[in-house]
Structure 1
Amino acid sequence: MVFAGKRPTNLGVNKGKLAPCHNSPNCVSSQSPDATHKIAPLTFTSTPEQAITNLKKIIQSLARTKIITESKDYLYAEFKSTLLGFVDDVEFYLDRNANVIQVRSASRLGQSNLGVNRQLIETIRANLK
């Protein structure tokens, strides 16, 4: 794929935080301090374990998606666009202290992705309910 780009090396959870968004608008994060990148974390009413299991099933049900890394409290998946194969890196961190799932979705290439990252998280949110 021409537009896949290289997998970032700064992903994962560091001291309870996902990587910050870069300056371009093609990233959203529930831990971002600024309005441009801010998105609400995912909420759940089940046990944390069931929430992660449900989240994984939703991710696997979406087209052109591949889970790269998973642990008890963390999922990292790549979402590939239909057209041209652009890749978004999407992370989910089960924040047991706040009882939410923190999220981050960032495009590897380009400046704007026309709100696709935000739309993806909102689709997952709707399916999680």
Structure 2
Amino acid sequence: MVFAGKRPNNLGISNGKLASCPNSPNCVSSQSPDASHQIAPLTFTSTPEEAITNLKQIIESLPRTKIITESKDYLYAEFKSALLGFVDDVEFYLDRSANVIHVRSASRLGQSDLGVNRKRIETIRANFK
């Protein structure tokens, strides 16, 4: 795919944090300090194991999605756009002490995403129990 771009090399968890968002508006993160990129983390009342299993099932139910990396406290998935195959990198980090799952969703290419990354996380949140 022409619009897939290269997988970033800054993904994953470093000192309990997901990578920062770039300056472009096509990224949201629950750990971002600035309002334009900020989004609330997912919260859960189940066990952490049930929460991550539930999250994985939601991700797998969404179209054009592929889970790339998975561990007990981390999920990384690629989401492809229907039309041109643009790829977004979406990460989830389970913070057991806070009963939240931090999220980061970022487009690989371009500047604006027309709110797609924020909308995706809110769709996942609406299905997350």
Note whether the superposition's TM-score is higher than 0.5. yes
Once the two structures are superposed, what CA deviation does each residue of 1:85-124 show, in whole Å capped at 9, x if it has no partner?
0000000000112110000000000000100000000000
* Offset of residue 48 of structure 1: 0.6
For 1:77 and 1:104, the matched residues in 2 are separated by: 11
Correspondence list, 1:1-129, <5 A: 1-129=1-129
* Offset of residue 2 of structure 1: 1.1
For 1:61 and 1:114, the matched residues in 2 are separated by: 23
Once the two structures are superposed, what CA deviation does each residue of 1:25-69 show, in whole Å capped at 9, x if it has no partner?
000000000000000000111111000000000000000000000
Secondary structure, in 3 states, of the residue corresponding to 1:123?
A: helix
For 1:55 and 1:28, the matched residues in 2 are separated by: 18
TM-score (ref. length: structure 1): 0.99
TM-score (ref. length: structure 2): 0.99
Counterpart residue type for residue 120 of structure 1: R
For 2:53 and 2:91, the matched residues in 1 are separated by: 15
After TM superposition, the runs of 4+ consecutive aligned structure 1 residues lying more than 3 A away are: none
For 2:2 and 2:14, the matched residues in 1 are separated by: 31
Question: What root-mean-square deviation, in Å, do the aligned CA atoms of Structure 1 and Structure 2 show?
Answer: 0.5
Counterpart residue type for residue 103 of structure 1: V
Structure 2 unpaired stretches of 5+? none
For 1:126 and 1:43, the matched residues in 2 are separated by: 11
For 2:45 and 2:71, the matched residues in 1 are separated by: 20
Structure 1 unpaired stretches of 5+? none
For 1:92 and 1:73, the matched residues in 2 are separated by: 8
